[in-house]
Structure 1
Amino acid sequence: MKPISNDIIAKLWTLCNVLKDDGVTYHQYVTELTYLLFFKMAKETGTEHQIPKGHRWDNLIANPKLGRLEAYKITLIHLGTHGDQIVREIFSNASSFIRKPATLSTLVEGIDKLAWYNAGREDLGDIYEGLLEKNANEKKSGAGQYFTARSLIDSLVRVMKPSLDDTIQDPAAGTGGFLIAANHYIREHYPPENWTKNQLEKYRNSTFFGMEHVHDTHRLALMNLFLHGIDFNPGAGGVHYGDTLSADGQKLPGATLILSNPPFGSKKGGGLPERTDLPYPTSNKQFCFLQHSYLGLKPGGRAAVVLPDNALFEGNIGKQIRADLMNKCNLHTILRLPTGIFYAQDVKTCVIFFTRGQTDHGNTKEVWVYDLRANMPQYGKRTLLTRDHFSGFETAFGTDPLGQAEALLLRRKDSDGSNRFRCFTREWIAQHNDNLDISWLKDESEELPEPGVLAREVLEELEGALEELREIMEELGEEVDV
């Protein structure tokens, strides 16, 4: 990310402190900032024609400070039913959390003073995504469940190689990270100036599809796609508001590429999904999204899906779903991810890669497992996960996003000697109860360290906990003496 982008992100996040005194939370702040940034970015990118006259950035600035908040709230309501479809969707049911006129004026004037003229369109998208990442890293915001590390997303997109011919879907879109990364890859490898009229039409109408059922997160996703220049005809592609595990999900078109990190856990109340087309109904969300993913692929379509490890070994219905997956698809690769890269630090995760077969029987012959977890650090704020950490996996994965037999043969020949990549036949997996939670490396990192090292780690954790307590007390307006 460019220095100008990092500078603007830091200044925008600093403005969050202004809202603390107004009782606005981190997550509410990012939503509030989305409204204001849309006005400002529409002006900066020359797309203000999408917003009705009288409700644009200069109109907001021109309002006297004491009347600005009231005018702003009227504008939010107005835009929910007026303007282009993208405007109506972003401002659907919008309302402001700000109570003090002075607070809004400080935000508006702070945003207006930033050096936007130095930032290009792609920079604006990076700035917004940087804010989403900061919000996700704040445990108190609760937004981490909707944000997947960009380094992981970029690695998965690179090995899956999206193209102009693809129909790309994320059934649990969150803030749109996978779709944005796929769009960036396509534009980098297929320059838009070389597209035919048919390719442009296909790109705008039937390339990117997603669904998100949390209203505020859907709003963030639309803004993210807008700022990253994903150009789609409203009502055709884009991220739609709805529940993939209801009848809404059945409306998503068949995909040639699915990239997703679906929510973990069980459906609230333990009920079954409303979908009637899933062969194995269960309250377990990850199993439902997994079924949607492999059933939603067209023959020959490919997918990379992030799952918690329990999806690899749970019995009963879990075993049936894994068997169905390996019948209908070639489940060719499993990537065991390092710990600490998601909001729930103790949840172990993996990525499964599969290609839908031309028939529904016997498609998986062997599964390659890459262990990127054993003897790796626990990632988080102190140890950041970067693209470099995935370079060995990307090399071993090879250049074939479909994981066909010829590519698998090359993997056997070109193993890097790290012993992190191994092959297991379908017969071997069947003998082990279709359990795909396969590991073979002795994980030295799970052994207790020396007492001095352990004491230092405990001290660091305590200091981190104290810092979080200080922040909470400050938010509550309490005196901090610790």
Structure 2
Amino acid sequence: MDTGTPTTRDIVAKLWSLCHVLRDDGIGYNEYVTELTYLLFLKMLAETGGESRLPTAYRWNTLARREGLDQLDHYKRMLLDLGNPKVVSDGLVLAIFTDAQTRLTRPTNLKALTAAIDKLDWFSAREEGLGNLYEGLLEKNAAEKKSGAGQYFTPRPLIDCIVRLIKPKPGEVIQDPAAGTAGFLVAADQYVKAATDNLYKLTEAQAFFQRNAAYGGAELVTDTHRLCLMNLMLHGIEGGVIHVDSLSPDGEALGKADLILTNPPFGTKKGGGRPTRTDFSVTADTSNKQLAFVEHIVRALKPGGRAAVVLPDNVLFEDNTGRRLRTWLMDLCNLHTILRLPTGIFYAQGVKTNVLFFQRGKADKGNTKAVWVYDLRADMPAFGKTRPLTVSDFAAFQACYGDDPNGGAARQDLGETSRFRRFTREQVAARNDNLDIAWLRDTEAEAEEGLTEPEDIAAAIMGHLRAALEDIEVLSDELEGQDSNSVQVLEAAE
């Protein structure tokens, strides 16, 4: 996914520089990107001939030509009305502007934004792809640690690596139940378009399916959902991602998928709440969101469907519900590959993550015969602001993975000194189905000692504290569950 051409980078830099103008209005980075999304949506519709989706009174020029308080008041009315189904019938417009509010209080700041947007090189932006421009903004926001956006922004080199290995195909239903800003869905779409000459090799019906029905998912956070829909639209994908909680009954409505690509949120459900899905059996009693998302993904895959999921270490080693889930997963699916990711690639430095690659079996028993583990964590550089993750960092893993998206290519275990090893289902069972398998020396401690940027050091400390708090929350939830069960047993005995 190329967001790095000189022209695109220049436009992104100009747009991003405006966020400093808005600090006097008390607007943070994340809020700025949301605010910018409202304005860019209007401008991009004007640039692409799509303004028929809007009421005449609320198109770009009617806003941009105004001055002072009149412009700010008009903008506030516009945001309210564009999210009102009595005023607007277009579903995408309504979704982007639902509950939209501006944080701008100074007319001069709104004028600075509209004037700067008008001055951008829109001809070049259209030529290079408006989606690339918007992706660049999202990436800039995620790289800014103060925004906290890195929590839901998966690094693009990692997304591209996963998509190349899992090989999305035309005609497949592709989902992300925790879509964030739609990075996985956009990358999958670009992979399919590259293989089909931008869909021109497909029939008209097939191309329509790709644009309107191939991609779906859910995003719970309202502002992130707006960014998601905007990103999809600018890449030629209409809607598809709904504003719901996948761990609620609404998640069942997503339907079945051929391919699921996702990076679910880390941590526990707010307030320690459990999933409310009636079809959940393995994770019904846990508030650990990652475990519950794994159950959702397995249940959402069609027989033979495949998935690649980014998950924290605790999913691999947690006992009780975690162990039951892993045993269930390896029965129903062929969990063929685990990629142990380096630390520091997400905004929370202390979070240790993995990618699990698996395929839903045709039967429900004994699908995993062996698990291949690639350790990209031990003896790796200290990733962070001074050493960002790149596509080349995954080259050796991709070579080991092979050409079969379901892990069926010829592979070789090179022994304890290599990064890629095979563990039979019996070996995993002997470990009580603990999949947190490491055999190389993990030099994370030394790597963190090598951090030099104050922001990276602070992020590492915060990451460790956050991970520790989440472990405590999970343990507390498990203990509460055990206490509840004990009370029920005593009541039954009485």
Fold shared by both chains (TM-score > 0.5):
yes
Superposed CA offset, 1:209-242 (max 9, x none): 1100100100110011111222x3x5xxx11100
| 2:168 matches 1:175 | no
Aligned to 2:73: 70
Could you tell me the percent identity over the aligned residues?
55
Aligned to 1:393: 397
| 2:146 matches 1:137 | no
Aligned to 2:411: 411
What is the alpha-carbon distance in structure 2 between the residues aligned to residue 416 and residue 458 of structure 1? 31
| 2:235 matches 1:228 | yes
Aligned to 2:433: 434
What is the alpha-carbon distance in structure 1 between the residues aligned to residue 428 and residue 17 of structure 2? 52
Superposed CA offset, 1:264-315 (max 9, x none): 1111121211111111211100000001011110000000000001100111
Superposed CA offset, 1:175-197 (max 9, x none): 11000000000000112112112
Report the residue type matching 1:436 in the other structure: L
| DSSP-derived class of the 2:217 partner | strand
> Structure 1 residues 460, 137: closer, same or farther in 2, change over 3 A?
closer
Aligned to 2:107: 101
Report the residue type matching 1:11 in the other structure: K
Report the residue type matching 1:443 in the other structure: D
Shift in Å at residue 379 of structure 1?
1.0
Whether the 8 Å contact between 1:167 and 1:255 is mirrored in structure 2 is yes
| 2:381 matches 1:374 | no
Whether the 8 Å contact between 2:382 and 2:451 is mirrored in structure 1 is no
Report the residue type matching 1:222 in the other structure: L
Shift in Å at residue 23 of structure 1?
1.2
What is the alpha-carbon distance in structure 2 between the residues aligned to residue 57 and residue 107 of structure 1? 12
Whether the 8 Å contact between 1:218 and 1:241 is mirrored in structure 2 is yes
Q: After the TM superposition, which residues 210-229 of structure 1 pair with which residues of structure 2 at under 5 Å, given as runs?
A: 210-229=217-236
Whether the 8 Å contact between 2:333 and 2:367 is mirrored in structure 1 is yes
Q: After the TM superposition, which residues 318-357 of structure 1 pair with which residues of structure 2 at under 5 Å, given as runs?
A: 318-357=322-361
Shift in Å at residue 201 of structure 1?
3.2
What is the alpha-carbon distance in structure 2 between the residues aligned to residue 121 and residue 214 of structure 1? 32
Shift in Å at residue 418 of structure 1?
6.9
Shift in Å at residue 205 of structure 1?
3.9
Whether the 8 Å contact between 2:303 and 2:361 is mirrored in structure 1 is yes
| 2:413 matches 1:420 | no
Whether the 8 Å contact between 1:121 and 1:227 is mirrored in structure 2 is no
Q: After the TM superposition, which residues 72-471 of structure 1 pair with which residues of structure 2 at under 5 Å, given as runs?
A: 72-81=75-84, 82-120=88-126, 123-191=129-197, 192-230=199-237, 232=238, 238-280=240-282, 281=284, 282-404=286-408, 407=409, 410-412=410-412, 419-444=418-443, 446-447=445-446, 457=450, 460-461=453-454
Aligned to 2:465: none
| DSSP-derived class of the 2:129 partner | helix
Shift in Å at residue 48 of structure 1?
1.4
> Structure 1 residues 200, 418: closer, same or farther in 2, change over 3 A?
farther
Aligned residues: 450
Shift in Å at residue 460 of structure 1?
4.2
Shift in Å at residue 204 of structure 1?
3.5
Shift in Å at residue 462 of structure 1?
8.1
Aligned to 1:47: 50
Whether the 8 Å contact between 2:46 and 2:60 is mirrored in structure 1 is yes
Shift in Å at residue 7 of structure 1?
0.2
| DSSP-derived class of the 1:438 partner | coil
What is the alpha-carbon distance in structure 1 between the residues aligned to residue 128 and residue 256 of structure 2? 29
Report the residue type matching 1:136 in the other structure: A
> Structure 1 residues 268, 417: closer, same or farther in 2, change over 3 A?
closer
What is the alpha-carbon distance in structure 2 between the residues aligned to residue 204 and residue 184 of structure 1? 11
Whether the 8 Å contact between 2:343 and 2:444 is mirrored in structure 1 is no
Shift in Å at residue 416 of structure 1?
11
Deviates more, 1:327-336 or 1:191-200: 191-200
What is the alpha-carbon distance in structure 2 between the residues aligned to residue 243 and residue 296 of structure 1? 14
- Identify unmatched segments of 5+ residues in structure 2: 459-494
> Structure 1 residues 376, 224: closer, same or farther in 2, change over 3 A?
same
| DSSP-derived class of the 2:58 partner | coil
| DSSP-derived class of the 1:411 partner | coil
What is the alpha-carbon distance in structure 2 between the residues aligned to residue 91 and residue 75 of structure 1? 9
| DSSP-derived class of the 2:200 partner | helix
Superposed CA offset, 1:108-147 (max 9, x none): 1011111111123653212211111221222222222111
Aligned to 1:480: none
Whether the 8 Å contact between 2:416 and 2:439 is mirrored in structure 1 is no
Shift in Å at residue 417 of structure 1?
10
Report the residue type matching 2:260 in the other structure: I
| DSSP-derived class of the 1:210 partner | strand
| DSSP-derived class of the 2:356 partner | strand
| DSSP-derived class of the 2:57 partner | coil
What is the alpha-carbon distance in structure 2 between the residues aligned to residue 358 and residue 458 of structure 1? 47
> Structure 1 residues 250, 388: closer, same or farther in 2, change over 3 A?
same
| DSSP-derived class of the 1:346 partner | coil
Whether the 8 Å contact between 1:25 and 1:141 is mirrored in structure 2 is yes
What is the alpha-carbon distance in structure 1 between the residues aligned to residue 381 and residue 330 of structure 2? 32
Whether the 8 Å contact between 2:141 and 2:149 is mirrored in structure 1 is yes
| DSSP-derived class of the 1:364 partner | coil
Deviates more, 1:137-146 or 1:186-195: 137-146
- Identify unmatched segments of 5+ residues in structure 1: 466-482
Aligned to 2:64: 61
> Structure 1 residues 125, 41: closer, same or farther in 2, change over 3 A?
same
Shift in Å at residue 463 of structure 1?
10
> Structure 1 residues 374, 448: closer, same or farther in 2, change over 3 A?
closer
Shift in Å at residue 447 of structure 1?
4.7
Deviates more, 1:217-226 or 1:124-133: 124-133
| DSSP-derived class of the 2:421 partner | strand
